[in-house]
A and B are shown apart, each in its own frame.
Chain A
Amino acid sequence: MQSLTDIRKDFPLFERHPDLAYLDSAATSQKPRLVIEAIQQYYQNDNANIHRGIYDLSMHATQAYETARQCVADFINASDRREIVFTKGSTDGINLVANSFLAPLLEPGDIVLISAMEHHANLVPWQQLCLARGAHLELIPVSESGEIVWSDFVERLSEKVKMLAFVHVSNSLGTINPAQEMIAEAQRRGIPTLLDAAQSVAHYPIDVQALACDFMVFSGHKVFGPTGIGVLFGCAERLEKMTPYQSGGGMIRRVQYQETSFAPIPQRFEAGTPHIAGAIGLGAALNYLQSLDRLSVLKQLDDLRDYATEVLSGINGLRIIGQAKAKSGILSFVMEQAHPHDIATILNEAKVAVRAGHHCTQPLLEGMGLPGTARASLSIYNHQADIDQLKEGLQTVKQIFG
């Protein structure tokens, strides 16, 4: 079994910053050496544009890109790699679904159902679409502990609901939503579903066939891969019927001056030269994750979350925001007297990196009467010493603000 200490050695950033307690992995994860090397290897030895290149180098690049797609498909257990669309990230994937899937179907009076704990990425695209179509954006409320109450959810699944989109793991509360059950409930009523797995894919096994979601999105950079690359999973049946999101090169079958027929899926949704190095880097990241004993890594992460929860709970005047029974390694908190930005500034001096603010969930936090929180988020390379360093930094906060 690989211990967390061993895993830490796979991430070169910690050699450069040995004293850093990096507790901001919910914003972006650090990158393992393998990923950095894969990207360098591509640019240094294999760089060429993909598709339709007749020469060896281009064929190699195409192969590497398509291998990465297969790698994503395997990672989330998609039955067909055509169901994997490379995007810029989760936001891009959600916009694609809103525009290419839902926009043509949505009529005035229809409902798009999301939860109140969505990241702005899974809120604003639906909101704007609803506004344009005279449809309603309805919210599944979130309890004080940060959970979706089942009956609140089920009673909103009316005939008018044309889409259910929700977050698997909340980026600001850490809540793990019962994705499987929620999707099943929607599916029973014929409601299409989109799962925002941006915060979950790095740590929890995702099986899109078992989940039976219509769409799922995640971002490469939160799962130890590069920025600027992400994944939209869409079941083939849905994707086949969708019109392109963007058009141009790479997504066509035949172009004439006055008309165009489009390429089959997934190329239909990948206009322009894609982020080839990004896809290759993402493939490397997923391979790296697969090489770990993921269950025991998750167990260690859960232990670390419990330790962090205990440490934070022991600090007078500190309140953890988000007390769901099922919770990931995301710990949001507020302190009496000290504003989250002051906490983050003081922690930075103690070489502790946390994020402060509304974490792109402004309506959720405003609803809770909070201007923001400080958020410590854990990943596979964190260890107890990081939490102890956090604790020490928080003592300084108390010293200054009493």
Chain B
Amino acid sequence: MNERLKKLYQEVIVRHSREPYHFSKDAVGEMIEAYNPLCGDQYKLYVDRIDDKLQSLHFHGYGCSISKAASSVLVQSMEGLDLASAKEKVASFMAVLNPEIELENLPIPEEYLAFEAARSFPARLKCASLAWETMAKYLENLP
């Protein structure tokens, strides 16, 4: 196995895709849909929000290991956040996927960095960003 592959399919991603966090069909909250018509990856995100606070999130659906792991990390890291911090977290995850951003001195959570390898697999960037972009849109559109 080559190094590029090892970096992409490192432990964080494989673990999250095998045992996704809060992977459940019967969740409460607002349902938002993350769908990539090009590849067919499709997740439902359930956001349990009270006013300014994201109490907890769940998700369900199907897709590749990268999109599933990225959704799992999203659901885990949004839990308990206020909206402003949630937006910050989304921005830092998106920075990890952006090849133009130097990550070295940025305060980025360890788990997010696992997805940096997707930068060298341009065909797979969309997998990593799918749920996060959906979340970003949701947060933007809140009153």
Contacts and interface: CB of A to CB of B under 8 A. Distances in A.
Interface stretch (B21-29, B71-79, B86-94, B121-129): B121-129
B5 A341 contact: no
Q: Which of A338, A342, A400 has the most CB of B within 10 A?
A: A342
B4 to A, nearest CB: 7
Interface residues of B, number: 23
B124 A371 contact: no
Contacts of A396: 1, 5
B62 A400 contact: no
Q: Which of A339, A358, A401 has the most CB of B within 10 A?
A: A339
B95 interface: no
Contacts of B63: 339, 341, 371
B11 to A, nearest CB: 11
B83 interface: no
Interface string A335-358: 001111110011001000000111
A296 to B, nearest CB: 38
Q: Which of B9, B38, B63, B123 has the most CB of A within 10 A?
A: B9
Interface in B11-65: 14, 18, 38-42, 62-65
B1 A399 contact: yes
A362 interface: yes
27 contacts: A337-B18, A338-B65, A339-B65, A339-B68, A340-B64, A341-B39, A341-B63, A341-B127, A342-B65, A342-B66, A345-B5, A345-B8, A345-B121, A346-B9, A349-B4, A349-B5, A356-B39, A357-B38, A362-B40, A371-B40, A371-B42, A371-B63, A372-B39, A399-B1, A400-B5, A400-B14, A401-B14
Given A342-B9, A357-B40, 13 more contacts: A338-B65, A339-B68, A341-B39, A341-B41, A341-B124, A345-B123, A345-B124, A357-B39, A358-B40, A362-B40, A371-B40, A371-B42, A371-B62
Interface of A: 337-342, 345-346, 349, 356-358, 362, 371-372, 396, 399-401
